[in-house]
Amino acid sequence: MAIKSYKAITPAQRFKTVADFSILTPKKDQPSKPRRLTQSLVKSGGRNALGKMTVRHIGGGHKRKYRVIDFAREKREIPAKVASLEYDPNRTAYIALLHYADGEKRYILAPLNLNVGDTVIASDQADIKPANNLVLSAIPVGTLIHNIEVTPGKGGKMARSAGDCAQLMAKDGTYCQVKMPSGEIRLIHSRCRASIGQLSNTDHENIKIGKAGRSRWLGIRPTNRGVSMNPIDHPHGGGEGKSSGGGHPRTPWGVPTKGYKTRNNKRTEAFIVKHRR
């Protein structure tokens, strides 16, 4: 997939790049969709139910509808035809609209090499083709997979963003060893399901935003440097002139930010065969 750049007739366009959406179905050719496949999306502004800001730099952004994605692939043994490939403003990967043989329509995450008109199915006897969904025990070792369940029947939770894929490394009794996109090797129950292939929009990581306004469209507010603040606002603040702050890089609350391990989940630690670091 290519990346589109612009002739630099303005300073903002000098470095700006966007994805080439040529593989997506044009809007005029997209089939009609049931209303239940989209939902209203209320913006939180980074605040929790109590109105307290828990995530900084979130606010504004373009108005958007949420596309209901079938992460669990609950319709088993029913073939479906890919009706269109579409852009989803809520995620980095593209999505595919499926028309099932019984007349139902659903969205799924679109992997690479999935084309309009292809037939996909969620079945343990399915072929190893992009977007087919199987249990891990039925997938050959070495296959690239995405949308992986952590708990059987709960729907895919891992490897869901643009260009992501995991690899099935080995099968050992009731568990399988899966190499995650981060490089971590993890044990996952063999009854968990996964979809075949690498996700679409692999060039997403190479896209350059180009201007501040484009970040605002995405709902990302400005981030201020700690060294430009006062000592009361940030550990890096203060000092005469343009001081670099001194000490190790820290968050506004004093937690180290480079190389400091914050992961602490003793419940799942036993399932990690090899850490990513």
Question: Beta-strand (E) ranges in the chain?
Answer: 3-5, 17-19, 38-40, 65-67, 80-86, 95-100, 105-109, 119-120, 133-135, 144-146, 148-149, 156-158, 166-172, 175-179, 185-189, 193-196, 272-274
Q: Point out which residues pair with 186 in neighbouring strands.
A: 178, 272
Average pLDDT of the segment spanning 14-32: 93
Q: What is the mean pLDDT of the chain?
A: 94
The answer on pLDDT for 214 being more than 70 is: yes
Q: How far is CA 90 from the centre of its chain?
A: 9
Residue type, 258: K
Determine the Cα–Cα distance for residues 130 and 138; give it in Å rounded to an integer: 15
The answer on pLDDT for 67 being more than 80 is: yes
- Nearest-CA neighbor of 179 among 123, 44, 247, 187? 187
- List the Cα angle 25/22/33 in 5-degree steps: 15
pLDDT band for 244, please (50, 70, 90 cuts).
confident
Q: Give the pLDDT confidence score for residue 184 in this predicted structure.
A: 95
pTM for the whole structure: 0.92
pLDDT band for 261, please (50, 70, 90 cuts).
confident
pLDDT digits (tens, 9 = 90+) for 80-119: 999 999 999 999 999 999 999 999 999 999 999 999 999 9
pLDDT digits (tens, 9 = 90+) for 133-189: 999 999 999 999 999 999 999 999 999 999 999 999 999 989 999 999 999 999 999
How many residues make up the chain in this entry? 277
Residue type, 242: K
Q: Give the pLDDT confidence score for residue 228 in this predicted structure.
A: 92
pLDDT digits (tens, 9 = 90+) for 224-240: 999 999 999 999 999 99
Domains in the chain with CATH codes: 3-206 (2.40.50.140)
Q: Point out which residues pair with 152 in neighbouring strands.
A: none
- Nearest-CA neighbor of 171 among 130, 215, 140? 140
Tokens of 131: 């977007």
Q: Give the pLDDT confidence score for residue 1 in this predicted structure.
A: 62
The answer on pLDDT for 40 being more than 90 is: yes
Containing 24, the helix (H) or strand (E) segment is none
Q: Give the pLDDT confidence score for residue 247 in this predicted structure.
A: 86
Kindly report which listed range (42-51, 69-78, 260-269) carries the lowest average pLDDT score: 260-269
Tokens of 195: 């979809």
> Of the ranges 27-36, 174-183, 255-264, 265-274, which is most confident?
174-183
Region for 234 from its dihedrals, namely left if φ exceeds 0, alpha if ψ lies in -120 to 50, beta otherwise: beta
